Amino acid sequence: MIDVSIIIVNYSTTKYVCRLLESIVRFESFPKIEIIIVNNNSFDNEFKKIKVQYPFVKIVESENNDGFASGNNLGASFANGRYLLFLNP
């Protein structure tokens, strides 16, 4: 069972998302987590790096950018955790 679903919305913030992911994976004693990144219709070519460098991350591609809150709601719909943690990169 997943304890915490971490949801991150990306819109041309790949550099910050990568830094955030590095910070998260340093916590070995962290409860069972899943990380969901919503690519909020960003045209950031650097985003492809996340799929390669962090294969354990669940990527959700949004066809529209309906804003930060909508991106979080989309990510939450894919979450399996008992708790949701929304992080802004």
Query: Which pLDDT score, from 0 to 100, does residue 25 have?
Result: 85
Query: Which pLDDT score, from 0 to 100, does residue 13 have?
Result: 92
Pairing of strands 4-10, 83-87: parallel
9-66 pLDDT, tens digit per residue, is 999 999 999 999 999 888 766 678 999 999 998 887 888 889 899 999 999 999 999 9
Angular region, 41: left φ>0, alpha ψ -120 to 50, beta rest: left
CA separation for the pair 25, 76 (Å, rounded)? 20
